[in-house]
Chain A
Amino acid sequence: TQLLEQSPQFLSIQEGENLTVYCNSSSVFSSLQWYRQEPGEGPVLLVTVVTGGEVKKLKRLTFQFGDARKDSSLHITAAQTGDTGLYLCAGANNQGGKLIFGQGTELSVKP
């Protein structure tokens, strides 16, 4: 069974601080996706990483895929209150269409 472990589960920081969220697995994924979800809404895709060692940047967000394609991280620089939400990593493999989600990281950015 493929599992994704996210840490931390909860994170409360002040506006302007930096943070990193981790997503780890013992399994290899063909790609890994990061989503952001707001209360009462479905997840919205932020980025997909495919190649081991890949780094992608989306404004203040930096995503990295581990060399072995088993882990990933999301780094946010100078967090803003608008970054508040549930961040989810999800792995895809070549054996079917489903996504395996981590349990999520609840981020709260206070002014």
Chain B
Amino acid sequence: DTGVSQNPRHKITKRGQNVTFRCDPISEHNRLYWYRQTLGQGPEFLTYFQNEAQLEKSRLLSDRFSAERPKGSFSTLEIQRTEQGDSAMYLCASSLGAPGWDTEAFFGQGTRLTVV
């Protein structure tokens, strides 16, 4: 297994366009998380899935954002009608159970979105 894989690595889009990112977690991991990180800041939680169920969504996740994890495998994050404020690194992480003393969350390399 090569770890958590995110595609694309970079995306430049015009304001108002829709974009979709994909995350392939480590194969046996039942939990999948999406975070957003702006330059010089720590990642901010967006949403997470346990298998195919979306268990929590942050208030940061406006109506323009939607995430899915069909069949509990890969996940997609779609942003509709992108705005310049959406420019950020979008990180995906996966884990076997909740991150804590005996469980590590593994992060992908992220998708850097630039809205022009």
Contacts and interface: CB of A to CB of B under 8 A. Distances in A.
Interface residues of A, number: 28
Interface string B38-68: 0011111100101000011000000000000
Contacts of B105: 45, 99
Given A30-B100, A50-B101, A104-B42, A98 B110 contact: no
A43 B107 contact: yes
Interface in B73-116: 91, 93, 95, 97-101, 104-110, 112
B97 to A, nearest CB: 8
Given A41-B110, A42-B107, 11 more contacts: A30-B101, A40-B109, A42-B109, A92-B98, A92-B99, A96-B55, A97-B56, A97-B98, A98-B33, A99-B99, A103-B40
Interface of A: 4, 6, 9, 30-31, 33, 40-45, 48, 50, 88, 90, 92, 94, 96-104, 106
